[in-house]
Structure 1
Amino acid sequence: MKVFLTHKKDAALHADLNVSGSKSESNRLLILKEQYSNPSIENLSDSDDTVTLTNALKLKKGVVDIHHAGTAMRFLTAYFASTPGIDVVLTGSKRMQERPVKILVEALRSLGAEITYTKTEGFPPLQIKGSILQKNQVTLLANVSSQYISALMLIAPKLPGGLTIQLKGEVTSVPYIKMTLGLLQKVGIQGSFSENKIEIAASETISENKIAVESDWSSASYFYSIVALSEAATVTLTHYSEKSLQGDRAIADMYEALGVTTVFNASEHKIILQKNTSELPNHLLLHLADTPDIAQTIAVSCFGLGVGCTLTGLHTLKIKETDRLVALKTELEKLGATVHITDDRLELAAFNGKIKEHIAIKTYQDHRMAMAFAPLALKVPLILQDSMVVSKSFPTFYKALETLGFSVQFE
């Protein structure tokens, strides 16, 4: 389904919006809840990925199809492998079967897991027979997806001796590892992360019975982009904290350079995004190894503002829902941009021309491609193909756009 997006002339860009709970926090807490029968979770994400994981956790035998949910693939591989009585084939979409999982599988096998590939070595589908994993030390490369590491951390407290994870090399996406550790500690599980070593103690029970999930900072990034691309705007978002476990909280600092001020209202757990009149830079340099999920949003914002940018630390984008670096280059160039990419960086030239109108943006079954490009409708009318892919993480995204004066027409 296509969606045609424009912004209504003179429509006020002022709104109070509720954003669903963080998908990243929700999915981690669901694994812990399944292992310990608590905590109860408030403000759970309503994303497709979280719904998929919730349903998959009810299955103990047969085929478990998680479709496009990459987090579910990684977390369930570890959870199923470490749970006695499980006998499943874990599979997903065609793209999911092209996304590597070998590093996680080898790590789990070294702990005693029984996992076999049913098609291609190193890729899903996986035949998994659950058992109690007796070993308590594992080593893996540090520059892989942090979801591999988090998957091991989440099952660690249920292993008889806990788990020590030794990481080799420079660690990627450190905030996501710290988020996992922070949630474990929040429910009373002891753990530490220092000098490439993660240690998680065994725990029979957890202490916390109720946890409220903070709203999703990755989803907030699209409203930062809208405010940045506007002439004047004020957007209030609920369930946010200045001291967040989410690495994408860094978006608040990054967008200062692009004309957005963040006001934190601690008493009401809100953030207020306001357009400021500061002078824009000619070129923005950001290292995003810790926050790769906001790279698309930043690149599109810079293009719409005429600001050049160099974004580095993006090697994990090649194994996401699509190769996000190639996708960004392809779609931005349709609009008139000049983009150069390598395996781990994107360089966007400053743009002073007229953005091409009514361009159909291909979304590549990637929710972040759709939502990153949508704010450009403030500048020119555009079309998003396969538009409902946003439900993967933000099902109410288009309703939020309408609240902000966008015209949203599906075909």
Structure 2
Amino acid sequence: MNLHLHQSTIHQTNAIQITGSKSESNRLLLLQALYPEIKINNISNSDDSVLMAKALASKDTVIDIHHAGTAMRFLTAYFSTQEGKTIELTGSKRMKERPIAILVDALNQLGADITYKENQGFPPLLITGKKLTKHKVTLKANVSSQYISALLLVASKLENGLELTLEGDITSVPYIKMTLSLLEEIGTKTKFQDNVITIYPQQQLADKTQQLTVESDWSSASYFYSIVAMSAIGTTISLSSYKQNSLQGDSALATIYNAFGVTTTFKNNTVVLQKTEATSPDTKINFDLKNAPDIAQTISVTAFGLGLECHLTGLHTLKIKETDRLVALKTEIEKLGGQVAITDNSLTLKKAINWHQNVTIASYNDHRMAMAFAPLALKVPIIIEDLKVVSKSYPTFWDDLAALGFIFSV
């Protein structure tokens, strides 16, 4: 079902409550499966987290996680440690095209029993849970941080813990640090020195009443940064619940969007976004997003909407997401009248002269494509294909846009 977003003007002052971080929620759900005494507050209502929780509670021998890439990685590691349990872990057609050999090879090196049901290196997987006693493994450091986090999350339950060596330049460090911080929050001893991460074994929690609260999702906040950036000076949106010392890499938005004339103020558990100055047409947006690649779509669309040149790097992991996000961005922005050049690691946007109206934006089964392009309705009427795709991470997204003053029809 398509959504027609009519050219809109938002209310000057608004407040939005955003669901818990999908990244934090999925990590804590896995830790809760390992340590059932953990209680989680403000858990994400995203499809991915619902699927993760359902899979962890399932007694079935076939687990289908659909499009949930994080769940595929985390559950591969989890089920490999569940002694005596054999699981087929599968997903959507796109999931079967997303590589997982790096993680499977690492787990098999630790003694796991994982084989491929169809194509070598790709889901579906047949996983027979075992007691893993080996504790040393090496990965290339520029792989998806989800592979690394999957190993770290199960490591404390391994008999001898884990010593993970990362070779080269590490990608998405904040996501690795998020995982380590959450492990430390439940009392697990960790060490991250040079390129070696050590997780020490911990069979039981010292604190039997662990209450952990998930911070709201910064990736979801990015769309409101884009809305404020494309709105009139003085426009303000308050988002909750957020921490100034966030574990999430996408909290870099607070600094990045200064380039678009948006200031960020933290007040208690709320973050206040305000458009404080117009963006000069000569502004050139230039960021390395290797630590926060999930906000690349939002930033590039914001730059396009404001008619700015934009060059983003550190994007090599975008090619193995729900879609090849670099190709998708190029295709959709060019349909709107932009000019985009991409490499395996970068996106360059030329200054836009005008925008084509009533263009249908393909979502590619990718929630972030739909949400990143929606703010352009502040500039021109557009059509978003497959409006329900946002439920993967942000089920109430369209309701929240309506509350801001966006006008749309199905």
Normalising to structure 1: TM-score of the pair? Answer: 0.97
RMSD: 1.0
Task: Report the Cα distance in structure 2 between the residues aligned to 1:260 and 1:270, rounded to whole angstroms.
Answer: 16
Aligned residues: 406
- Could you give the per-residue CA deviations for residues 123-177 of structure 1, whole angstroms, max 9, x where no partner exists? 0000001011010111111111100000000000000011010011111111100
Stretch of structure 1 that moved more, 141-150 or 206-215: 206-215
Stretch of structure 1 that moved more, 61-70 or 47-56: 61-70
> Contact 2:8–2:377 at 8 Å: present in 1 too?
no
Task: Report the Cα distance in structure 2 between the residues aligned to 1:389 and 1:347, rounded to whole angstroms.
Answer: 27
Task: Report the Cα distance in structure 1 between the residues aligned to 2:305 and 2:18, rounded to whole angstroms.
Answer: 24
Task: Report the Cα distance in structure 2 between the residues aligned to 1:6 and 1:223, rounded to whole angstroms.
Answer: 17
In structure 2, the residue matched to 1:222 is: 223
**Equivalent residue letter for 1:397:** F
* Corresponding position: 1:364 with 2:327: no
In structure 2, the residue matched to 1:38 is: 37
> Contact 1:2–1:385 at 8 Å: present in 2 too?
yes
In structure 1, the residue matched to 2:72 is: 73
The offset of 1:27, in angstroms, is: 0.2
Give structure 1 regions of 4+ aligned residues with deviation exceeding 6 angstroms: none
Task: Report the Cα distance in structure 1 between the residues aligned to 2:187 and 2:314, rounded to whole angstroms.
Answer: 33
- Could you give the per-residue CA deviations for residues 284-311 of structure 1, whole angstroms, max 9, x where no partner exists? 1100011000000000000001110110
In structure 2, the residue matched to 1:344 is: 345
Task: Report the Cα distance in structure 2 between the residues aligned to 1:409 and 1:144, rounded to whole angstroms.
Answer: 41
Equivalent position SS for 1:202: coil
The offset of 1:7, in angstroms, is: 4.1
Equivalent position SS for 2:156: helix
In structure 1, the residue matched to 2:275 is: 275
> Contact 2:314–2:345 at 8 Å: present in 1 too?
yes
**Equivalent residue letter for 1:272:** V
In structure 2, the residue matched to 1:150 is: 149
> Contact 2:110–2:134 at 8 Å: present in 1 too?
yes
Equivalent position SS for 2:29: helix
Task: Report the Cα distance in structure 2 between the residues aligned to 1:68 and 1:86, rounded to whole angstroms.
Answer: 24
Alignment of 1:223-302 (within 5 A): 223-232=224-233, 233-266=235-268, 269-280=269-280, 281-302=282-303
- Could you give the per-residue CA deviations for residues 53-92 of structure 1, whole angstroms, max 9, x where no partner exists? 0000012441100000000000000000011132110000
**Equivalent residue letter for 2:368:** R
The offset of 1:6, in angstroms, is: 2.0
In structure 1, the residue matched to 2:409 is: 409
Normalising to structure 2: TM-score of the pair? Answer: 0.97
Task: Report the Cα distance in structure 1 between the residues aligned to 2:380 and 2:403, rounded to whole angstroms.
Answer: 18
> Contact 1:282–1:350 at 8 Å: present in 2 too?
no
* Corresponding position: 1:48 with 2:38: no
The offset of 1:278, in angstroms, is: 4.9
The offset of 1:259, in angstroms, is: 1.1
- Could you give the per-residue CA deviations for residues 34-61 of structure 1, whole angstroms, max 9, x where no partner exists? 0010311000000000000000001244
**Equivalent residue letter for 2:2:** K
Q: Which runs of 5+ in 2 are unaligned?
A: none
Task: Report the Cα distance in structure 1 between the residues aligned to 2:237 and 2:185, rounded to whole angstroms.
Answer: 30
Task: Report the Cα distance in structure 2 between the residues aligned to 1:396 and 1:239, rounded to whole angstroms.
Answer: 16
Equivalent position SS for 2:138: strand
The offset of 1:235, in angstroms, is: 0.3
Task: Report the Cα distance in structure 2 between the residues aligned to 1:8 and 1:324, rounded to whole angstroms.
Answer: 26
Equivalent position SS for 1:198: strand
Alignment of 1:16-27 (within 5 A): 16-27=15-26
Equivalent position SS for 1:150: helix
Task: Report the Cα distance in structure 2 between the residues aligned to 1:147 and 1:85, rounded to whole angstroms.
Answer: 25
- Could you give the per-residue CA deviations for residues 88-116 of structure 1, whole angstroms, max 9, x where no partner exists? 10000000000000000000000000001
Equivalent position SS for 2:63: strand
- Could you give the per-residue CA deviations for residues 338-359 of structure 1, whole angstroms, max 9, x where no partner exists? 10001110000112x2211100
In structure 1, the residue matched to 2:127 is: 128
The offset of 1:8, in angstroms, is: 3.9
Stretch of structure 1 that moved more, 65-74 or 195-204: 195-204
* Corresponding position: 1:111 with 2:113: no
In structure 1, the residue matched to 2:331 is: 330
The offset of 1:364, in angstroms, is: 0.3
Equivalent position SS for 1:57: helix
The offset of 1:408, in angstroms, is: 2.4
> Contact 1:60–1:87 at 8 Å: present in 2 too?
no
The offset of 1:14, in angstroms, is: 2.1
Equivalent position SS for 1:311: strand
Task: Report the Cα distance in structure 1 between the residues aligned to 2:302 and 2:319, rounded to whole angstroms.
Answer: 21
Q: Which runs of 5+ in 1 are unaligned?
A: none
> Contact 1:60–1:86 at 8 Å: present in 2 too?
no
Equivalent position SS for 1:158: coil
Equivalent position SS for 1:340: strand
Between the two proteins, what is the percent identity of the paired residues?
A: 55
In structure 2, the residue matched to 1:185 is: 184
In structure 2, the residue matched to 1:319 is: 320
The offset of 1:283, in angstroms, is: 1.1
The offset of 1:392, in angstroms, is: 0.2
> Contact 1:63–1:88 at 8 Å: present in 2 too?
yes
> Contact 2:48–2:71 at 8 Å: present in 1 too?
yes
Task: Report the Cα distance in structure 2 between the residues aligned to 1:205 and 1:28, rounded to whole angstroms.
Answer: 18
Equivalent position SS for 2:390: helix
Task: Report the Cα distance in structure 1 between the residues aligned to 2:226 and 2:300, rounded to whole angstroms.
Answer: 10
* Corresponding position: 1:205 with 2:204: yes
> Contact 1:27–1:50 at 8 Å: present in 2 too?
yes
Task: Report the Cα distance in structure 2 between the residues aligned to 1:49 and 1:252, rounded to whole angstroms.
Answer: 25
The offset of 1:241, in angstroms, is: 0.8
